[in-house]
Structure 1
Amino acid sequence: MKHFYLILILISGLSFAQEKKETTSIEVDFLAGNVMQHAPDLGHLVSGHPTGTMISFSKKTYGSDEWQSAYNYPDYGVYLLYQDFKNPYLGHNFALGAHYNFYFLKRRLMFKIAQGIAYTSSPYDKETNNKNKAFGTKLMANTDFLLEYKKPNLIGNFGVQAGFFFTHFSNGKIKTPNSGINTYGLNLGLNYNFDKPLDYKKDTIASKINYREPIRYNFVLRTGINESPIIGSGQYPFYHVGFFVDKRFNRKSALQLGTDVFFTNTFKDFIRYQSVAYPLKNIDPNTDYKRVGVFLGYEMFINRISLEAQLGYYVYQPYKYDIAVYDRLGLKYYFTKKIYTGFSVKTHAFLAEALEFSIGARL
């Protein structure tokens, strides 16, 4: 019984300590805007002005960990998103995921980055909804960016925010069709702080640390499944192998230079299909399906998590179905200083090719 009471005391102490480190808030944003027509065959999906609601539950940081003061005490938490596309083919989307809020200009300007999993009410169906070229599956990825002016505690614990939003839905071509949908527009909302704000703690020791590093060598394997543009052609695994060097300049930033080799198996059947379906194009069915690209990249280190963006160009692309420029946006998680895993989206000008799951080494 004594041990039971001791455990209760320890749990209570930990809970109290956690309350002193962070506070909790909620934000409710109302969205209204437009669908971005990023492909010629999406005109019939741009018929209305989408509306939606985003609810974000956040933990506000005050410097208990070094990364918090380095990034001006961001918030982190979970979000719920609902969007009505005002289109009979697109229907409604629901999303759940995680977010970060970063602050600028004396904490009046807030930038939200959110990533999650989405569900659509009206995916493509050959018989009942063959006009929906955007969503080939019920489940897909969701990415959101919001830039807002935020005023907390305007009346008591209630505050307001207003700004601009951008949302993206795509299954990464796991199954076609998958043109994806991007929306943009204005948002207006309320926020509420459940707790009194705490004092911010500045990490004076970390500010004296030299984060510059020598050039590091990276090897990464990215894999997953995708389907060719031909609906119902089948899903195949892909293997994207990358080698690059990076140079970390400070606490937050590193630049990258490297090369990718793409073994995308769906291209094999797609090339053969094109050679038969379009004989006047004189496509050789034995055309090499592999591609090689070179890229420049940027990595932003937060804590064990980092954000990564890369822009590449195909230097070897025998079958030129996509444009020669590709880009990649993703998250990485470091198990150790040398081993990491990640998740990224590879696209060609807003048209997703693959959702990549990766394992890599930084030496």
Structure 2
Amino acid sequence: KCYSQTDSLKNHSAFFIQSNFMVGKIVANYSDFPKSTGRKTLYLDFGFYDNRKNNSTSRYYNFPASGISLSYSSLGNDSVFGREMDLVPFIDFNACHQLKNSFHFRFGIGASYFTKHYNRITNPTDEPIGSSVTWAFEAFIFQNVFSSKHLQVKAGAGFLHSSNGHTQLPNFGINSAMLSLSFQYFTKPITAQQTIVDRTIPTDRTLHFILQSRFGIGYHEFGGTTGPTGGPKKLVYTESISGGLILKQHVKLRLGFSYRFYEHYYEYILRNPLATMENHPEKILSAHPVWNSSALTFIGSGEFLYNHFGLDLEGGINISKPFYHNFNRLYENDAQPFYFLKSFFATRMGLNYYFISAQKNPKNNFFIGAHINANFGQADFSELSCGYVFRVK
């Protein structure tokens, strides 16, 4: 049962160590996917359970837990995949107002290292992983099945994903469906009373209007998911301007526009001055090489703010992306509806770090971020960015 209760005890963030045992299956995402006998993963987490009752962010997220996880995985085919090691920052949101019998949602974004990856001569079947270092994503739901002052035992299920964000081809990625059993040990005892969120304390419901500007530098290899491999890497430059509001100091919603310039597109147009637009054969790309190498997108974003960090999810509608039609003919050959979805919708997901905690509601704030960008659901490029947020009201 999930309920709230007033507790006068003073609380602080509690340090914990957590072991997480996972078993599951790698889900094939193309017809000739290498065989796997199953996936086994061991996690070791170090983090803090944020049960500060006088902290609005802690109460808003029902005393979340956050930290860093180290993991080691056997992927069921050592000759092709090798082994995987991950380093992933994570956050664990409690859906209830206490720990006992609670449901949890865990999300993490970090990095993976593979002991083997694609090589056209020595490992040509490992098309899921094109590089030794990739992005790592995790999303899980847990049920707390046992609680004591020092130990929490949780059972759950979820999804693991690793791919390099189109920085080195091929890049199908590895998707895994997993079952999990975890043991969370608190180094200092925590009573049941200390885990109950006090809902009698008023929540700040003020709306704050903001303006935001962001500059990003992306990095990718020119080609489709399967190749060609071994090509040069080029940059993607992004400038984004948006406005929106922050709800309760914890959720940021934005609308705006972004402009991107692709070096790979520009270089192709200069090398092929007579190339025409795939969807408008009467128009020559080299007549306006900069614009035809660009993308203009209407964007919408939702970002969950937790102290200095933001989990950023962005979607967009391409107003103009002229070269994508040629890119599809050269490397993808997608039929409808996939061609329409990839050419029309842009997506972006990642983490931001704010120099001033969102809880302080600063007038001016700066941030840095790391994101993966995609054409609908297919990776386009990996990106580092910096930005500025101005609170209008």
Structure 2 counterpart of 1:296: 300
2:253 matched residue in structure 1 = 255
Greater Cα offset, 296-305 or 330-339? 330-339
Give the % identical residues: 19
SS at match of 2:33: helix
Structure 2: 5+ residue stretches without partners: 1-9, 329-341, 357-361
2:38 corresponds to 1:36:
no
Corresponding residue for residue 171 of structure 1: 164
Letter in 2 for 1:74: P
Q: TM-score, normalised by structure 1?
A: 0.83
Say whether 1:362 aligns with 2:352. no
Equivalents in 2 of 1:121, 1:351: separation in Å?
A: 24
Could you tell me the TM-score, scaled by structure 2's length? 0.77
Residues 269-297 of structure 1 show CA distances to partners (whole Å, capped at 9, x for unaligned) of 456789999xx997966372211111221
CA contact (8 A) 1:228 1:270 kept: no
CA drift of 1:206 comes to 7.8
Task: Give the superposed CA RMSD.
Answer: 3.1
Structure 1 residues 239, 205: CA separation in 2 closer, same or farther (over 3 Å shift)?
farther
**Matched letter for residue 243 of structure 1:** I
Q: Relative to structure 1, is the Cα distance of residues 90 and 261 closer, same or farther in structure 2, using a 3 angstrom cutoff? A: same
Native 8 Å contact 1:226 1:235 kept in 2: yes
Does residue 330 of structure 1 match 2:350? yes
3-state SS of the aligned residue for 2:123? coil
- C-alpha spacing 1:330/1:134, structure 2 compared with 1 (3 Å): same
The separation in 2 between residues aligned to 1:316 and 1:218, in whole angstroms, is 22
Q: Is the counterpart of residue 101 in structure 1 residue 92 in structure 2?
A: yes
CA change 1:102–1:189 in 2 (3 A) is: same
CA distance in 1, matches of 2:250, 2:92: 16
Secondary structure class of the residue paired with 2:125: coil
> What is the distance in 2 between the residues matched to 1:349 and 1:49?
29
Residues 245-279 of structure 1: per-residue CA shift (max 9 Å, x gap): 112232322321111211121233456789999xx
Per-residue CA deviations over 1:293-314 (Å, capped at 9, x if unaligned) read 1122112221121221111121
More deviation in 258-267 or 334-343?
Answer: 334-343
Cα separation, partners in 2 of 1:166 and 1:306, compared to 1, 3 Å: same
CA spacing shift, 1:204–1:263, aligned 2, 3 Å = same
1:22 lines up with 2:13 in the alignment: yes
Residues in 2 aligned to 1:54 and 1:353: alpha-carbon distance in whole angstroms: 29
Shift, 1:192, TM fit:
2.5
5+ residue gaps in structure 1? Answer: 1-18
Q: How many angstroms apart in 2 are the aligned matches of 1:50 and 1:89?
A: 14
Matches of 2:304 and 2:35, distance apart in 1: 35
User: Cα distance 1:120–1:203, how it changes in 2: closer, same or farther (>3 A)?
Assistant: same
Matches within 5 A, 1:153-302: 153=147, 157-197=150-190, 199=194, 207=202, 209-214=204-209, 216-229=210-223, 230-269=228-267, 286=286, 288-302=292-306
Kept after mapping to 2: 8 A contact 1:171/1:180: yes
Q: Distance in 2 between matches of 1:160 and 1:202?
A: 20
